[in-house]
Amino acid sequence: MKAPTRFTFVMFALTALIVGALAATAVAGNKKKTTVVVNAGSVLSGQNNVKVRGGLNTATGCRAARSMRLFETDQNGVILATLDSGTTDSGGNWKLQAKLTGPPQPNQFLQVKAKKLTVGKIVCKAALSGLIAIK
């Protein structure tokens, strides 16, 4: 190779590496973290009815129309049943409710999940709340 051709080849290869690195960073930068926020207060309404409300702490584009699930779990977070499902409003607020099969037990908890959502090139990550005592 002549010197100018070798220089052109090296510059082309270097440019390709830089563009590839920037593209990889841009794709990884489109994943948005989500946190499920549960409003404080009693979730028990009557003897067997539970109502849980809250919102999502995430990027604005990840708040609307997110699928939400309400789970019954044990004290270790093992899912025993799916009690309710719904979607968030435009501001990321949600409300889930269900009727338990009997009075709540001390080892019985609730947990809320926001499912993963893809909006254009943005990936809104799934999230799970902490354990919610039924009281």
Distance between CA atoms of residues 60 and 112, nearest Å: 20
- Domain check: are 91 and 63 in the same one? yes
DSSP E strands, 62-120: 67-73, 79-87, 93-99, 109-114, 117-119
Predicted pLDDT of residue 15: 72
Please give the residue that has the higher pLDDT: either 74 or 8.
Answer: 74
Same domain, 39 and 73: yes
Residues 70 and 99 grouped into a single domain: yes
Q: What is the pTM of this model?
A: 0.78
Category of 46 on φ-ψ map: left (φ > 0), alpha (ψ -120 to 50) or beta: left
**Signed CA dihedral, 103, 47, 83, 118: sign only:** negative
Q: ∠24-26-29 over CA atoms, to 5°?
A: 110
Structure tokens at 76: 């270790």
Q: 124 and 112 in one domain?
A: yes
Same-domain status, 64 and 126: yes
Together in a domain, 88 and 107: yes
pLDDT in tens, 105-115: 999 999 999 99
In terms of domains, do 101 and 75 share one? Answer: yes
Q: Which structural domain range is residue 55 located in? A: 33-133
Give me the CATH number covering residue 41: 2.60.40.10
Residues 97 and 116 in one domain: yes
Tens-digit pLDDT profile for residues 78-131: 999 999 999 999 999 999 999 999 999 999 999 999 999 999 999 999 999 999
pLDDT at site 24: 47
Residue 126 and residue 80: Cα distance in Å, rounded?
19
Do 7 and 43 lie in a common domain?
no
Q: What is the mean pLDDT of the chain?
A: 88
Residues 86 and 40 in one domain: yes
